[in-house]
Amino acid sequence: MLTAISPIDGRYADKTRELSHYFSEYALIRYRVLVEIQYLLALFQIPLPPLADVQQADFDALERLTNRFDEQAAERIKAIERITNHDVKAVEYYLKEMLESLGLDRYQEFVHFGLTSQDVNNTAVPLATKHAMEQVYYPQLQQLIGQIEGMAAAWADIPMLARTHGQPASPTLLGKEFQVFQTRLISQLRQLQQIPHSAKFGGATGNFNAHVVAFPEINWQEFAHDFVTNQLGLERTFPTTQIEPYDNLAALCHALSRINTILIDLCRDIWTYISMDYFKQQVVAGEVGSSAMPHKVNPIDFENAEGNLGIANALFQHLAEKLPISRLQRDLTDSTVLRNLGVPFAHTLIAFQSISKGLRKLQLHEAKLEQDLEQNWMVVAEGIQTVLRREGYPQPYEALKALTRGKATVTQQDIHAFIQSLQVSDAVKAELRNITPHNYTGRQ
């Protein structure tokens, strides 16, 4: 949309649309309605004495309320909110209207029974987040990891000059360098998947005061554990104040941020490889690289991804630092901050898609890799001096240092002349002459 303030809902709307099912205002209202209805159904199942006459048809009617929820229903709740100036209370009043329309008005006062708004918010938000992770985030990250894995396999045997501190270093294998990122991402993904989606459910200050005073014979703690764990599929935090302490959500944000940081590292490395001419980029017909320089094919996908990952991380870090802090039993600062939870997810998905697009455009320029290896024969010095150490040769490191350090060029001829001058056996000399920048890559 051209008038959108945020590029998430404007320029990049097609890349983030899936997240609107979980993090939009509509989604938050829908998940609140879901929690309220599931809670009422759970009260039916106790059963509480005033609800003893509940019929299967009543259950079915309430389930249909959840399934029929649409934007028109959400608009009705927003209309009520304009009067109440309270978003969760508006959901309660809407559901009471629905019960009345279904002829179930005898149950109206058990909607939101004994709850505070945070019992609804702190179950609705983690439930929506859990579903967003399962349905959107994990599939896209796993697809990206699979793409990196494919490149690691395809280039497993391609030797490449390594650079440590930006200087030529012992050669590596291009595929292994991609495998490094694949392994890091898989490791962090496993850690991410171990973090629980936690929810609070316990009344105005976490003690079920209202529930206990109304029905002291019910074990409300047991009820809450069963409701949150078995019916909603979340992990209940206990004890709490009025709100979920958000420690696990903070851990989730930190884990997401670490994955993004790994991807920033990947983007910068690939950007550098492109600048070194190790990769060409597939030319897209009609695409312009520069408004002034017609020859340019810029690594824009990796630059776009890096920028979006940076924005996402800034927000994830703020969420992780802010949400676990609340004055005494509750202040409202978490509410407005939490409404932005979908924003870093959106920037992250934009980045995933940009990286994936950029990877698909990479074309290996193998001749350039071979050329760089051939021009940097000094990198075999490490291998030569290590073999000489094995042979007990005196001060091999110092001998190779004198030959190679600070030299503009060290050629194959220089290396072989040095080898010929060594006081070692012909067999060792032959072994040393077999070491080249193209095969000195270790074993994987």
326 is catalytic: no
Residue 435 pLDDT: 97
Give yes or no for residue 177 having a pLDDT over 90: yes
Token representation of residue 430: 């032959």
Does 443 score more than 90 pLDDT?
no
Spell out the domain ranges in the chain.
13-113, 118-285+294-365, 376-433
pLDDT, position 196: 98
Identify the band that residue 74 occupies on the pLDDT scale cut at 50, 70 and 90.
very high
Q: Residues 386, 392, 395, 400: is their CA dihedral positive or negative?
A: negative
Phi first, then psi: give them for residue 217, nearest 5 degrees: -80, -15
CATH code for residues 118-285+294-365: 1.20.200.10
- Active-site position among 275, 290, 421, 425: 290
Please tell me the predicted confidence (pLDDT) of residue 36: 97
- Please state, as a whole number, how many other Cβ atoms lie within 10 Å of the Cβ of residue 294: 8
Decide if pLDDT at 1 tops 80.
Answer: no
Determine how many CB atoms are found less than 10 A away from the CB of residue 413. 9
Name the pLDDT band for 274 (thresholds 50, 70, 90): very high
- Give residue 267's pLDDT: 98
Catalytic annotation on 290?
yes
- What pLDDT was estimated at residue 194? 98
User: Fold for domain 376-433?
Assistant: Ribonucleotide Reductase Protein R1; domain 1 (1.10.40)
Q: Model confidence over 13-64: pLDDT tens digits?
A: 999 999 999 999 999 999 999 999 999 999 999 989 999 889 999 999 998 9
Q: Are 410 and 350 in contact (CB under 8 A)?
A: no
Confidence of residue 444 (pLDDT cuts 50, 70, 90): low
Q: What string of DSSP letters covers 332-349? A: SHHHHHHTTTHHHHHHHH
Task: Give 3-state DSSP helix, strand, coil % of the chain, rounded to 5.
Answer: 65, 5, 30
**pLDDT, average across residues 384-396:** 94
For the chain, counts of helices (H) and of strands (E): 20, 6
How many other CB atoms sit within 10 Å of the CB of residue 139? 12
Asked if the 13-113 domain carries CATH number 3.10.100.10, the reply is no
- For residues 274 and 297, the answer to whether their CB atoms sit within 8 Å is no
Please report, in angstroms and rounded to a whole number, the separation of the first and last CA atoms in the chain. 50
> pLDDT at position 381, please?
94
With beta carbons less than 8 A apart as the criterion, state whether 260 and 278 touch.
Answer: no
- Cβ(187)–Cβ(193) below 8 Å: no
Instruction: Report the alpha-carbon distance of residue 203 to residue 213 in Å, rounded.
Output: 12
* Average pLDDT for 329-354: 96
Q: Would you state the pLDDT for residue 337?
A: 95
